[in-house]
Structure 1
């Protein structure tokens, strides 16, 4: 099977599938950054605005800009409360439409592995951030099995399917992220692992959230109903189901941060 390209255009589907995961990891990420209030923030690859809203809620920014290549995602972002503060722009992470040194902090939330040339994306974040400013990112540990949808993707692969995969998945290894930041000339580079647990009322809720949007939905839609039933059973067997039918799953991300040299 030809590998599918992942494109997110449905902001509501993305919110249920990944937006909730993003906020869980984002809370830990922002605690770790410990950025002062009143900064000018750039949220690169802001998607449907989940991370942008979190920055607004947590960091009291003086200004906030989000950029993403999906108009559908941006349409959803503009319906969030953060839209009263944030400016949302359609654009490319490898060619940011911002002046040099125009932000105090530039971040990527679950984005770096979707950038075709990650080094160029990091260089652009450095360019738009003032000397002494923060450049940071976090990404699911795709090679290490930390992706929230890993139970479904693993069983799809076992069935002979080719699960969708970001074009730069290996960049999410913690050593690769550290190397990117160092090679970009950032100083005081640090990394950390982020583990978060999301709870679901039952297996059906987990299945629904894990099979929405562009990541696996097209693959599953092409399967015979009997194969989908088999897939569901195998995914269920990978989870711990509590006595009340609820379940939870732990995902892992790697984070990196550094400062632009003076």
Structure 2
């Protein structure tokens, strides 16, 4: 049987579901990083360009590159205003097609749990950043229930189902990120927790948005109709709307940063 994998092939749907969550977390991360203007940035696992656009808007980069394994996501990224500066390339986080010390800052936004060998991905980030440069990432806290779709996935598990998740959810823990960055030889490693909230017009708006997830929509569509109805009602009880019908959902991410040491 073929291994179940999450596929990111719809940049517009990703934007409505995860892109907005990404920007909520990314705003906090960029405030925390407080980078100097004029840096050369690389956004690894840039997807549809949501995080790349934030770097373009907020960090005044002198150069900006994004890399992702999904051609469809990159096609969407190239429609953004950031494409006036940013160059988007198809590639692998574990074998970056960039020169050593090419960048001043490297970031992985909500990606590291998808990298087959996370330590190799971090080593590649370190390689392409100059000595003294910034290496950072943030990741939804899967073990801590911080993934935006956790309310739906929790009810799926309660119904005896196994929702599709990222290959390495455990790597998103703060202690795991600290160990990765430290073992990669980075200095001044610091972490922080990020909590974000997102408003929805009502439960139906929330539910439709959840079903735009890269895997969840297909999983729900493949259920027996009675199971799909039951799941929706269980989630409705888990994430109740306010008296005005509106609904606020929350998510939690962990972030890490470090500095590449001088060359020996």
For 1:230, the equivalent position in structure 2 comes to: 230
Point out where structure 2 has 5 or more consecutive residues left out of the alignment. Answer: none
Contact 1:200–1:247 (8 Å) recurs in 2: yes
- 1:91 and 2:99 correspond: no
Contact 2:18–2:213 (8 Å) recurs in 1: no
Greater shift in the superposed pair: 162-171 or 86-95: 162-171
For 2:150, the equivalent position in structure 1 comes to: 150
- 1:174 and 2:178 correspond: no
Point out where structure 1 has 5 or more consecutive residues left out of the alignment. Answer: none
CA RMSD across the alignment: 1.2
For 2:19, the equivalent position in structure 1 comes to: 19
Q: TM-score, normalised by structure 1?
A: 0.98
Distance 1:217 1:4, change over 3 A: farther
Residue 161 of structure 2 aligns to a residue in which SS?
coil
- 1:204 and 2:204 correspond: yes
2: CA distance, partners of 1:42 / 1:2: 33
Q: TM-score, normalised by structure 2?
A: 0.97
Residue 215 of structure 2 aligns to a residue in which SS?
helix
Aligned length, in residue pairs: 262
Structure 1, residues 78-125: CA drift from partner, whole Å, max 9, x if none?
111111110000000000000000000000000000000000000000
Contact 1:43–1:65 (8 Å) recurs in 2: yes
Contact 1:39–1:105 (8 Å) recurs in 2: yes
Give the CA deviation at 1:2.
8.4
- 1:81 and 2:81 correspond: yes
Distance 1:2 1:88, change over 3 A: closer
For 1:5, the equivalent position in structure 2 comes to: 5
For 1:163, the equivalent position in structure 2 comes to: 163
For 1:113, the equivalent position in structure 2 comes to: 113
- 1:125 and 2:125 correspond: yes
Runs of 4+ in 1 over 4 A off after TM superposition: none
2: CA distance, partners of 1:32 / 1:214: 29
Give the CA deviation at 1:7.
1.2
For 1:54, the equivalent position in structure 2 comes to: 54
Contact 1:2–1:162 (8 Å) recurs in 2: no
1: CA distance, partners of 2:24 / 2:91: 26
Structure 1, residues 35-86: CA drift from partner, whole Å, max 9, x if none?
0000000000000000000010110100100000000100100111111110
